[in-house]
Amino acid sequence: MKIAVVNWRDPWHPQAGGAETFAWELARRFARAGHQVCFVTARAPGQGRGETVQGVRIARMGGVFTVYPLVLCWLLIRRGRFDVVLDCQNGIPFFTPWVVRRRTKVFCVMHHVHDRQFGVHMPGWLAAFGRFLEGPVARWSYRRHASVAVSPSTVRAMRERLGWDGPVHIVPNGVSVAQPGNSVRSPAPRLVCLGRLVTHKRVHLLLDAVAELRERWPDLTVDVIGRGPEEGALRARLPEGVAMHGYLPEEDKARLVAQAWVHVSASQGEGWGLSVLEAAALGVPTVAFDVDGLRDAVRHGETGWLLPEGTGLAKGIAAALDEVDDTYSVKCREWADRFSWDRSAERLTALMLGHAVEPGWEAR
Phi-psi region of 283 (alpha: psi -120 to 50; beta: other; left: phi over 0): left
Please report which helix (H) or strand (E) contains residue 308, including its range.
none
CA distance 293 to 157: 10
182 — pLDDT class (breaks 50, 70, 90): low
**326 CB-near residues (< 8 Å, 6+ apart):** none
118 — pLDDT class (breaks 50, 70, 90): confident
Which pLDDT tens digit goes with each residue over 215-260?
999 999 999 999 989 999 999 999 999 999 999 998 999 999 999 9
Mean pLDDT of 95-117: 92
Which pLDDT tens digit goes with each residue over 2-37?
999 999 999 999 888 889 999 999 999 999 999 999
Question: Does the model's pTM come out above 0.85?
Answer: yes
The ranges of the chain annotated as CATH 3.40.50.2000 are 2-174+340-352, 190-336
Distance from CA of residue 199 to its chain's centroid?
Answer: 15
Q: Is the dihedral of CA 249, 251, 254, 259 positive or negative?
A: negative
Give every strand in the sheet of 221-225, ordered side by side. 242-246, 221-225, 190-194, 262-265, 286-289, 304-307
pLDDT over threshold 50, residue 362: no
Q: CA 227, 230, 233 angle in degrees (round to 5)? A: 120
pLDDT over threshold 50, residue 363: no
**What CATH number should be reported for the domain whose range is 190-336?**
3.40.50.2000
In 3D space, the residue among 149, 159, 160, 165 whose CA is nearest the CA of residue 293 turns out to be 149
Maximum CA extent, the chain = 64
Given the candidates 3.40.50.2000, 3.30.70.20, 3.40.50.1000, 3.40.30.10, the CATH classification of the domain at 2-174+340-352 is 3.40.50.2000
pLDDT over threshold 50, residue 364: no
CA distance 308 to 300: 12
**Residue type present at position 95:** F
CA distance 264 to 56: 34
In 3D space, the residue among 20, 150, 125, 119 whose CA is nearest the CA of residue 158 turns out to be 150
> What pLDDT is stored for residue 161 in this prediction?
92
Which pLDDT tens digit goes with each residue over 142-165?
999 999 999 999 999 999 999 998
Q: CB atoms < 10 A from the CB of 54, how many?
A: 11
Mean pLDDT of 82-98: 94
Least confident of 85-99, 109-123, 126-140, 219-233: 109-123
Q: Is 273 exposed, middle or buried (0-12, 13-18, 19+ CB in 10 A)?
A: buried
pLDDT over threshold 60, residue 360: no
Report which DSSP code applies to 300.
Answer: B
Which pLDDT tens digit goes with each residue over 322-357?
999 999 999 999 999 999 999 999 999 999 999 877
Do 102 and 83 touch, CB atoms closer than 8 A? no
Buried b (16+ CB within 10 A) or exposed e, 133-146: bbbeebbebbeebe
pLDDT over threshold 70, residue 303: yes
